[in-house]
Structure 1
């Protein structure tokens, strides 16, 4: 058994599982700025079918890549749970890493402990694991979590914030979506992304496109503004994507084809000057090309949704300084 195999699926070292099994429970610690808290919860509802609400983590049977969400800090692949730390220590003694290195990290998203208490808990668990203790660059990192009623030990898989690298690009709008918000919108639009076709018909400089493409999602962008299209193509090219087929000039109201979902960040300056009937026409066009959509606007659109034959299934706001966006998840009326 090689080191890479251990890093990818150390859970099989747990003797309660056979060699082909995986953990049945995963814990996802979340962190978000207050201005994006509602968006974080909306993304959780879309991805997991539940929200953590007041808790700092979410437990789910779903196994998602830890870097899927901009708000997930890591994924804990649960190996053992026990009522007390002493009982968890006994279970940890069953782990044999066959000479590989490891460390135990106390997760602060659970019950609060003193600094000394956290280190003592790490030492107690680490002393029972058969392997080489290594604080820097270990082969395996175990996460230790104190929940309200018990203790949990699992494999800690830290999220790589790939979206941070997307902040620096050749072209940006000052009011454009942040990379974190853009990534969350993609997750909300297509939580089960495999096999889905997605469109961003008002793509601007391509922030949503870049986040979706970095997750392997099949997406295309359109925009009526040729300056935006040039900027989006430049940004896509900057990150190594073939922009020629991904972004084209196109009017939302004239688009053809069928997509599984749409992500629409309505143009602010244009939308603020549109009459309600014109906004309704745009939203009707969204419903025509996709049965599900995430709509972003600085203006209330509830009346326009009703007139366009769209039902609202979720709603939140997200702030960027004093700039407030409203986010709706809508579906085409059946």
Structure 2
């Protein structure tokens, strides 16, 4: 095949509800270092679109142009040889007015591009799907990949309870904590029924689980096995962890099995300090002062909404100096 060398740029389109905006934008910042009110973003970071519960599709850019005529000229150099293909012009919400193209015109453009590419078109089961996306005055052509809602399949677990995170939120949290899994070791030391573990493991994140409650540890192990995943879930308190981790995901206990008091929450955070460089904390109560007293600083945050129930998600880094409380004790 000719002219199929990627440029190294990707375009992602997004779909989310108003209540999901903050969580989606926090995940964007974790993946790409920026967010946008537009439901489309261009980046040099290649993310599997099925990782995100909010990414709708991805275009791996092969070439770009100022208009359709130039796209057609470049597409004419593409020779598929024995591979089949199809071309789609996806529907994208919230495009700038200058980038909008009407439905019938999109279908006509698909036919024009398909006609100049050398090869056999197959609209039902192609070897490669190409996409065309207009964005900020430029036209981009590349390999198209539709996101698969993997998190949706994980909703039906053999073991669950009502206050657990939704699979959609859990997947976003795993991405925010570990945007690039390569060489990263993570732990969920208050893993409960294992909702975050299932999402993280299904994305290839190297993560361990742990909890002090034997009932939920058994449930977490059962849920992981149910989806054909492999992961370690240990029984024991966070204070007993001796292995070092790059990041810890802590969903503060507040369910019918385990409810941590403010003092216990503070101890959980302090116990994480020796073994975790980074924390992602999920809380239903303001705990900024606890984060600081545990020796961490908040570097990003958002509110995740579910009807009237609000969770705050805090992204934290370890401070390489004594916390304020420790310093006060030393001064005393």
**TM-score normalized with structure 1 length:** 0.89
Corresponding position of 1:121: 109
Contact 1:30 1:73 in 2 (8 A): yes
Query: What displacement does 1:215 show?
Result: 1.6
Runs of 5+ consecutive residues of structure 2 not aligned to the other structure: 321-332
In 2, the alpha carbon distance for the partners of 1:241 and 1:45 equals: 28
Secondary structure of 1:127's counterpart equals helix
Corresponding position of 2:132: 144
Corresponding position of 2:3: 14
Q: How many residues align?
A: 314
4+ long deviations beyond 4 Å: 269-273
Query: What displacement does 1:254 show?
Result: 3.4
1:289-304 aligned at under 5 Å gives the runs 289-304=275-290
Deviations 1:120-159 (A, max 9, x none): 2212222211122222111221111111212111110222
Residue of structure 1 aligned with 2:142, choices 154, 157, 162: 154
Residue of structure 2 aligned with 1:31, choices 15, 33, 38: 15
In 1, the alpha carbon distance for the partners of 2:280 and 2:187 equals: 11
Corresponding position of 1:312: 298
Query: What displacement does 1:258 show?
Result: 1.2
In 1, the alpha carbon distance for the partners of 2:294 and 2:85 equals: 57
Corresponding position of 2:261: 274
Instruction: Report the more deviating stretch, 202-211 or 118-127.
Output: 118-127
Residue of structure 2 aligned with 1:222, choices 202, 207, 210: 210
Contact 2:57 2:147 in 1 (8 A): yes
Residue of structure 2 aligned with 1:200, choices 188, 191, 197: 188
Corresponding position of 1:98: 81
Deviations 1:88-114 (A, max 9, x none): 111111111114322111122243222
Residue of structure 1 aligned with 2:25, choices 36, 41, 49: 41
Corresponding position of 1:329: 315
In 2, the alpha carbon distance for the partners of 1:321 and 1:54 equals: 22
Corresponding position of 1:172: 160
Contact 1:294 1:330 in 2 (8 A): yes
Q: Quick one: structure 1 residues 140 and 269, their matched pair in 2 at CA, closer, same or farther if it must change by over 3 Å?
A: closer
Secondary structure of 1:14's counterpart equals coil
Deviations 1:195-249 (A, max 9, x none): 2111101101101111111122221111111111111111112122346xx1121
In 2, the alpha carbon distance for the partners of 1:23 and 1:308 equals: 44
Secondary structure of 1:67's counterpart equals helix
Q: Does 1:58 align with 2:46?
A: no
Corresponding position of 1:8: none
Secondary structure of 1:118's counterpart equals helix
Q: Quick one: structure 1 residues 273 and 208, their matched pair in 2 at CA, closer, same or farther if it must change by over 3 Å?
A: closer
In 1, the alpha carbon distance for the partners of 2:67 and 2:185 equals: 48
Residue of structure 1 aligned with 2:234, choices 236, 240, 248: 248
Deviations 1:237-293 (A, max 9, x none): 2122346xx112111233322111000111124887613x43222211122220101
Contact 1:108 1:145 in 2 (8 A): no
In 1, the alpha carbon distance for the partners of 2:120 and 2:255 equals: 60
Runs of 5+ consecutive residues of structure 1 not aligned to the other structure: 1-11
In 2, the alpha carbon distance for the partners of 1:273 and 1:137 equals: 53
In 2, the alpha carbon distance for the partners of 1:253 and 1:319 equals: 31
Q: Does 1:260 align with 2:273?
A: no
In 2, the alpha carbon distance for the partners of 1:25 and 1:242 equals: 33
Secondary structure of 2:7's counterpart equals coil
**TM-score normalized with structure 2 length:** 0.89
